[in-house]
Structure 1
Amino acid sequence: MGTGDPYTTIAEPTFVARFLLDPDTDTVSAVANVDAFVDLPDGSTWALTIFTVDEVGRLLARWRETGEVASGSYFWAVGQLIVPEPGVSAMIAAIRELVCNGDITSAGVRCEGQDRGTSAITGQ
């Protein structure tokens, strides 16, 4: 992460993933809810919101208490990807598979006509 760069960037031969980590709370090994952008060699960029299974449960429980989202009766996000455990390494493994099998174009939201890094996703 460079000075003034809000992203933690992981470059692989078939993609570059940029994670918008909160510098005050997120760590690379423990992040459980993050917006990410996946840049492909063809110039396309795909946005994902990545959650862990436990984070989804935590959000539903919180909403049940606060009354939000019909008292936690459902969960959804545009371009959602759920991984089994926290951390950028688990997220990269999932992104790698999505890119390899071509599912990134179904799972992600294409960021057309936007500046790189401008989210097409609204956060939870």
Structure 2
Amino acid sequence: MTNTPYSVWIEAEQWEQLWNEDDDNTDVVVRFEGGSEWMATFFTYQNIFSMAKKNEETGECLRGSYFWASEMILVRKITRIDIEVVIKNLLADGTFESVFKLCED
């Protein structure tokens, strides 16, 4: 998989409003040549704090007592460049398939 060409789709790039690269989250899909698609959600560290505060106010997740997300990747900033660097690193060190989830039909 390391040398297989792929493309990266970032949900936030489809939003009408700009996202906050320091305090946001977005789904990311990696499509490999040959058809397999893998998904993960990128969160900024700050976004976890912001979501915990929101949950405390709304009552979700036991009033902010916990937070969870499947296929979660924490990053300092959410930019295309930062996301692509993380993906390349995960592919290079062999952990991509442990972090991203294979999207099945």
Query: Structure 2: how far apart are the matches of 1:67 and 1:88?
Result: 33
C-alpha displacement of 1:30: 2.5
Q: CA separation in 2, counterparts of 1:35 and 1:99?
A: 18
Where do 5+ consecutive residues of structure 2 fail to align?
Answer: none
Q: CA deviation at 1:61?
A: 0.9
> 45, 56, 68: which is aligned to 2:48?
56
Measure how far apart 1:96 and its partner are: 1.3
In the aligned structure 1, how far is the partner of 2:18 from the partner of 2:80?
10
Q: TM-score, normalised by structure 2?
A: 0.82
More contact order relative to length (CA 8 Å, sep ≥ 6): 2
Which runs of 5 or more structure 1 residues have no equivalent in the other structure? 1-12, 114-124
* Displacement over 4 Å in runs of 4+: none
Of 98, 115, 118, the residue aligned with 2:90 is 98
Aligned to 1:30: 21
**Percent identity, aligned pairs only?**
26
CA distance in 2, matches of 1:74, 1:40: 34
TM-score (normalised: structure 1)? 0.70
SS in 1 for 2:26: strand
Structure 1 counterpart of 2:76:
84
Residue 7 of structure 2 aligns to a residue in which SS?
A: strand
